[in-house]
Amino acid sequence: MSGAGDGLSVLVVNAGSSSIKLRLLGPDDEVLATTDLHADRHGFDEDELRVFLHGDRPDVVGHRVVHGGTQFTDPTLIDDEVVAELGRLVELAPLHQPAALKGIEAVHDVLPDVASVACFDTSFHTTLPPAAFTYALPREWLRRWPIRRYGFHGLSHAYASRHVAELARADGLDVDPAALRTVVCHLGAGASLCAVKGGRSVDTTMGFTPLEGLVMATRSGSVDPGLVLWLLRDDRLSLDDLEEGLEHESGLLGLGGSKDLRDLVDGDGPDPQAAALALDVYVHRLVTSVAAMTASLGGLDLLGFTGGVGEHDAVVRSRVAQRLAYLGVALDAHRNDSADGDTDVTAPGAAVRTYVVAAREDLQIAQEARRVVAG
């Protein structure tokens, strides 16, 4: 399976708390094989990885790692020192970092002689200006602890923003790439926006944790910190109950009774009024946050939708576009309703071009991994 030059085959590893997603890409990014393996707190069955590879040996392995802290601003070749440093970052991402570390360990056991590269969801956002990443907290706190807005979904935002720009240029958009202003809407179970100017992240909605920002499937998104303090006072909620509520019982599930946006759009749940409110809140937060991203950019040229909701929910895209019409966003109803994969859904004459793009973090990881091993 060895490729020539930069055309290396890549095993892309995306480890989660309950599964590990594997995708084997050939030298030209063709998908050779893909599978999801069950995982638990102990990791996953390495024999299943061996079966998946069928004896093939990729040229390089690319691991999605959620948190790179302030230490890792670029994809990084994994060695013992890097693994130790990633372990020290577990406190910043206790739900995600341990899974990535188990994936790294397991793949190393199966492929000990193959170079592995850590590709970070936070690294795309290391270009945020200080005004965008700094919390207005006591300076002593900022000196003592690694408190800042890190941002997440960076691998998805990096790919989607670049791909949207490629599609627009192919369609004849004539804008200086260094000045191109794009907002990417990564909408899935987790959701975030990214303002990208000239290929660089300049603002995003997630912050110190993935809990900040948009309303999500089960996460609250941004709430008043005074509310959090109120809930903790006088034993209203324990710290564990508060964390469980904000992370797993809020968002669409908390408001509408389902974490699946399709149920709320269709109104199939037991409480149609609650479903309608949940959808209204979701769209309101999304629209106002897109507008905030355009303020960071000084305008808007391209709008991209990606992720499970972004790719497949025409109703949400339509409602967002209607509310953003004042910015020059308008969708072609037929294209929007029938969008499948990478699709230009822009209405004729609209000032802002809007695209639906398939989420392909694997391609971003493969590109970064190849770049590292190529030196």
pLDDT in tens, 167-195: 999 999 999 999 999 999 999 999 999 99
Question: Are the C-beta atoms of residues 88 and 340 closer than 8 Å to each other?
Answer: no
Same domain, yes or no, for 319 and 170?
yes
Give the residue among 115, 80, 120, 124 at the shortest CA–CA distance from 100: 120
Write the CATH number for 109: 3.30.420.40
Q: For residue 19, is pLDDT > 50?
A: yes
Task: Please list the active-site residues.
Answer: 121
Q: What's the pLDDT at 149?
A: 98
When pLDDT is averaged across residues 344-372 and rounded to a whole number, the result is: 97
The one-letter amino acid code at 299 reads G
Among 99, 120, 141, the domain-final residue is 120
Q: What is the DSSP string of 84-133?
A: HHHHHTGGG-TTTHHHHHHHHHHHHHH-TTSEEEEEESSGGGGG--HHHH
Q: What's the pLDDT at 7?
A: 83
Q: What's the pLDDT at 40?
A: 73
Any domain includes 189: yes
Same domain, yes or no, for 283 and 345?
yes
Any domain includes 349: yes
When pLDDT is averaged across residues 110-120 and rounded to a whole number, the result is: 97
Any domain includes 353: yes
Same domain, yes or no, for 35 and 164?
no
Same domain, yes or no, for 283 and 200?
yes
CA distance 73 to 126: 6
pLDDT bracket for residue 217 (50, 70, 90): very high
Q: For residue 35, is pLDDT > 60?
A: yes
Q: For residue 2, is pLDDT > 60?
A: no
Q: Please tell me the pTM assigned to this model.
A: 0.95
| Residue numbers of the domain that contains 256 | 154-361
User: What residues does 347 pair with on adjacent strands?
Assistant: none
Q: For residue 4, is pLDDT > 80?
A: no
Q: For residue 95, is pLDDT > 90?
A: no
Among 120, 146, 165, the domain-final residue is 120
Q: What's the pLDDT at 55?
A: 77
Any domain includes 168: yes
Any domain includes 145: no
107 alpha carbon, distance to own chain's centre: 23
Same domain, yes or no, for 166 and 270?
yes
Q: What's the pLDDT at 163?
A: 98
User: What residues does 22 pair with on adjacent strands?
Assistant: 13, 35
Q: For residue 1, is pLDDT > 50?
A: no
Q: What is the pLDDT of the chain when averaged over all its residues?
A: 94
Same domain, yes or no, for 112 and 168?
no
- How many domains is the chain built from? 2
Q: What's the pLDDT at 17?
A: 67
Same domain, yes or no, for 222 and 354?
yes
Q: What's the pLDDT at 6?
A: 67
Would you call 172 exposed, middle or buried from its count of C-beta atoms within 10 A (0-12, 13-18, 19+)? exposed
Percent of the chain residues past pLDDT 70, beyond the cut: 98
Same domain, yes or no, for 338 and 206?
yes
Instruction: Find the range with the poorest average confidence among 19-28, 126-135, 339-348.
Output: 19-28
When pLDDT is averaged across residues 124-137 and rounded to a whole number, the result is: 98
Same domain, yes or no, for 163 and 88?
no
Same domain, yes or no, for 104 and 168?
no
Same domain, yes or no, for 59 and 15?
yes
Any domain includes 4: no
Any domain includes 110: yes
User: What residues does 173 pair with on adjacent strands?
Assistant: none
User: What residues does 107 pair with on adjacent strands?
Assistant: none
Any domain includes 190: yes
Same domain, yes or no, for 287 and 209?
yes
Between 244 and 16, the higher pLDDT residue: 244
Among 103, 120, 137, the domain-final residue is 120
When pLDDT is averaged across residues 293-303 and rounded to a whole number, the result is: 98
